[in-house]
Amino acid sequence: MYNEYDGIEHDYTKKGGVVYSEIMLCENAPKEYQDRQTLWNAVEQIEKSSKAQLVREYEVALPVELSREEQIKLVRDFAKENFVDNGMCVDFSIHDKEDGNPHAHIMLTTRPIEQDNSWGVKQKKEYILDKNGQKQYDKKKQTYKCKTVKTTNWDSKEFLQRSRESWAEKVNQELEKKSLPQRIDHRSLKEQGVDRVPTIHEGGARKLEKRGIKTDRGKINREIKTANGQMQTIDILTKQTQKEIINIREDIEWNKQHEHIAKIERMLPKATEENKNVLLRLQTEMLKTYNIAKRLEPTTASAERTIECDGRKVPYFDYHKDKLIGDISFIRDKIESSLEAIRERAKTAEPQSGFVARRESIMRQEQPKQDAPKIDTAYAEEMARKLSALRSEFVKAMVQSAERTSYQPNPIYERQANEIESISKTISEQSRTIKSLQEERDKLGIFKGREKKELQNKIDNFERLRRSNLDKLGALGVSEPSKADEAVKEKRSMAAQEQNRAKAAMQNRGAKERAEEVKAAFLEAAKQIPADQRQEILDRMGQQKEIPTMGRLQYYQAEAEARRQLDTALKQEAQTRERNRTHDRDRGI
């Protein structure tokens, strides 16, 4: 192609890899511009400045999945829509050296073409107007103020961005037509949120690399790929840390609920001794909490989590929901039982009055006076101690049978202790590694820039990992690594308390059966006491009450049950004895 500007003929016939070329003209362009030499010589002639921009170039990679005809049509449609229709002339060529990198060079004119087929101007001057729309005069320069305005937006960032986006859309449309999964993105890696360094274009170096010949460009790309691999690993670890932080926050939310219920359970013994109103308030609160717990739904994060329980894996959400509902139900039962005990105590404390009281008074007056029975003091004392011991054993078993017989320990405390311990150790190791790398970097001379950069990249990577672990530690409630040991100790203590509660609940199993056995022995012993000695022994037994070591209301309730069982048994025994005497008397015995 002959260049009229410098008089040199340029021979491009030996340039390999050019598989297709085409010129596309805008609406006002002369037809003779279809000739490549005519077009670009006209461009040279119109530009007078040595610094003038003659051409604007786009280079686009072509999908290898498309045929040659499809590639040509793709470039042609893209060029027409984005450049030709906007007033530019296009000269594009498709290059393919069969190295797996087909691409197109798209050359664009930089001036608009007027309706008379002449070249237009790239920019023009406009007067600067004041707020009233009048020209502003510069007294110093003795001229009106003006500014330079471009006649097109072809070299703007916005136009470039739209063109890149258009190319991505057209390529993806073609790939979708072929039902291919591949897609391209016009955005930079940074804009996509991808923390990866882009590789450089290798060009002819790729063929040399394939033949086993190492090149500088190939070496740079290998280093970039290695660095990207490290960053991808860090990204994976960072995402994993973020996921773990979400899990930690969910653990904390469950802990709040479990600890709130445990606090109420600890309040119960004191609440039952204060007044009925406290219990009624707790009863209302527990009903509301129970209804909320029943409506709980699993979160996305908890769907994949499990808990090891009795040698099997249980869904995380199901375990904690069941535990919460079970704990609430136990407290509700305890409150109802305590309210019932208060009602029973109120009944027994009421003095008898009215007809019943007068009847008992008359009966006492009408009873024939009998001589006081002769009391065997030693026998009475021994039987009183025996009955008192059996009664105490029965009362304890009764109270114990009303306590938990099962308890789901909260496994979060032990897991948090292990996590805090592990993370704090990792942070310490990372801190030592960072310090060692920094010392190694600082020892390098001023001409070791490349080595320094490599070490700095390692330091940055370790620092990112360290910050991620610090974030995780913070989510666990530990503000700094120096407080990790104290936090581990606290979590382990809470985990031990959970296990102790589970063991105590297991020990309560069978308490109801033990209470029945002791009750039978207690009543049988009472029945064996002679009628004339019974009142004395029962009075002595009443004087040997123990000071309750458990909840007083529960103790009173169990003791009242023991008294009721004893009264019922003795009454039945007396009735049986009276029936037998009546029967013997009727028979004349």
For residue 269, name the pLDDT band (cuts at 50, 70, 90): confident
How many Å apart are CA 304 and CA 43, to the nearest integer?
Answer: 66
Given this model, what pLDDT does residue 206 score? 62
Given this model, what pLDDT does residue 530 score? 80
How many Å apart are CA 552 and CA 568, to the nearest integer?
Answer: 24
For residue 342, name the pLDDT band (cuts at 50, 70, 90): confident
Given this model, what pLDDT does residue 279 score? 87
**Of 37-46, 106-115, 508-517, which range is least confident?**
508-517
Please report which helix (H) or strand (E) contains residue 249, including its range: helix 216-274
How many Å apart are CA 502 and CA 496, to the nearest integer?
Answer: 10
What single string gives the DSSP state of each residue in 522-542? HHHHHHTS-HHHHHHHHHHHH
Residues 40-53 have a mean pLDDT of 89
Summarize the chain as % helix, strand, coil (round to 5). 60, 10, 30
Predicted confidence (pLDDT) per residue in 462-484, tens digit? 898 899 999 999 999 999 999 99
Among 321, 319, 253, 324, CA closest to 286: 324
Given this model, what pLDDT does residue 380 score? 80
Q: What is the mean pLDDT of the chain?
A: 82
For residue 29, name the pLDDT band (cuts at 50, 70, 90): very high
Given this model, what pLDDT does residue 19 score? 92
**For residue 309, how many C-alpha atoms fall within 13 Å in the half-sphere facing its CB?**
19
Q: Label residue 380 exposed, middle or buried (CB < 10 Å: 0-12, 13-18, 19+).
A: buried
Token duo for residue 456 = 């700095």
For residue 188, name the pLDDT band (cuts at 50, 70, 90): low
Going by their DSSP bridges, the two strands 143-144 and 137-138 should be labelled as antiparallel
- Percent of the chain, pLDDT > 90? 39
DSSP symbol at 299 = -
Domain over 2-124+153-177 is classified CATH 3.30.930.30: yes
For residue 495, name the pLDDT band (cuts at 50, 70, 90): very high
Q: Residue 220: how many CB atoms within 10 A of its CB?
A: 14
Q: Is the pLDDT of residue 531 over 90?
A: no
Residues 259-285 have a mean pLDDT of 83
Angle between helices 484-507 and 412-443 (to 10 degrees): 160
Q: Which residue has the higher pLDDT, 305 or 354?
A: 305
DSSP symbol at 21 = E
How many Å apart are CA 182 and CA 171, to the nearest integer?
Answer: 10
Given this model, what pLDDT does residue 217 score? 64
Contact status, residue 401 vs residue 562, Cβ threshold 8 Å: no
For residue 362, name the pLDDT band (cuts at 50, 70, 90): very low
How many Å apart are CA 141 and CA 139, to the nearest integer?
Answer: 6
Q: Is the pLDDT of residue 560 over 90?
A: no
Q: Is the pLDDT of residue 355 over 70?
A: no
Going by their DSSP bridges, the two strands 90-95 and 18-24 should be labelled as antiparallel
The 3-state DSSP class for residue 3 equals strand
Residues 6+ apart with CB under 8 A from 320: 254, 258
User: In three state form, how does the secondary structure of 314-336 look?
Assistant: EEHHHHHHHHHHHHHHHHHHHHH
Cα-Cα-Cα-Cα dihedral sign, residues 502, 504, 507, 511: negative
Q: Which residue has the higher pLDDT, 24 or 223?
A: 24
DSSP symbol at 482 = G
How many Å apart are CA 153 and CA 161, to the nearest integer?
Answer: 12
Residues 6+ apart with CB under 8 A from 394: 515, 518, 519, 522, 558, 562
Among 127, 130, 123, CA closest to 145: 127
Q: Which residue has the higher pLDDT, 547 or 360?
A: 547
Q: Residue 336: how many CB atoms within 10 A of its CB?
A: 13
Q: Residue 339: how many CB atoms within 10 A of its CB?
A: 16
Q: Which residue has the higher pLDDT, 580 or 247?
A: 247
Q: What type of residue is 135?
A: K
User: In three state form, how does the secondary structure of 340-398 look?
Assistant: HHHHHHHHHHCCCCHHHHHHHHHHHHHCCCCCCCCCCHHHHHHHHHHHHHHHHHHHHHH
Place of tokens 């979400």: 246
Residues 97-101 have a mean pLDDT of 81
Q: Residue 425: how many CB atoms within 10 A of its CB?
A: 13
Predicted confidence (pLDDT) per residue in 441-454, tens digit? 888 887 788 788 88
Among 148, 112, 114, CA closest to 128: 148
Contact status, residue 390 vs residue 522, Cβ threshold 8 Å: yes
For residue 395, name the pLDDT band (cuts at 50, 70, 90): confident
Among 505, 437, 426, CA closest to 471: 426
Q: Is the pLDDT of residue 57 over 50?
A: yes
C-alpha distances in angstroms, 536 versus 102, 376, 544, 578?
Answer: 114, 10, 13, 21
Q: Is the pLDDT of residue 214 over 80?
A: no
Q: Is the pLDDT of residue 39 over 90?
A: yes
Q: Which residue has the higher pLDDT, 319 or 508?
A: 319
Q: Is the pLDDT of residue 148 over 90?
A: no
Predicted confidence (pLDDT) per residue in 60-94, tens digit? 999 989 999 999 999 999 999 999 999 999 999 99
How many Å apart are CA 394 and CA 562, to the nearest integer?
Answer: 7
For residue 363, name the pLDDT band (cuts at 50, 70, 90): very low
Place of tokens 């990792």: 426
The neighbouring-strand residues paired with 129 are 135
- Percent of the chain, pLDDT > 70? 81
Among 397, 443, 448, CA closest to 555: 397
Given this model, what pLDDT does residue 168 score? 93
Given this model, what pLDDT does residue 196 score? 55
Q: Is the pLDDT of residue 153 over 60?
A: yes
Q: Residue 237: how many CB atoms within 10 A of its CB?
A: 15
Contact status, residue 383 vs residue 375, Cβ threshold 8 Å: no
Going by their DSSP bridges, the two strands 2-3 and 8-9 should be labelled as antiparallel
DSSP symbol at 135 = B
The 3-state DSSP class for residue 92 equals strand
For residue 364, name the pLDDT band (cuts at 50, 70, 90): very low
Contact status, residue 565 vs residue 523, Cβ threshold 8 Å: yes
Q: Which residue has the higher pLDDT, 273 or 385?
A: 385
Contact status, residue 1 vs residue 12, Cβ threshold 8 Å: yes
For the chain, which residues make up each domain, given as ranges? 2-124+153-177, 221-349, 412-507, 511-586
Q: Is the pLDDT of residue 456 over 60?
A: yes
Given this model, what pLDDT does residue 546 score? 61
Residues 169-194 have a mean pLDDT of 79
Cα-Cα-Cα-Cα dihedral sign, residues 226, 227, 233, 236: negative
Residues 6+ apart with CB under 8 A from 10: 1, 2, 3
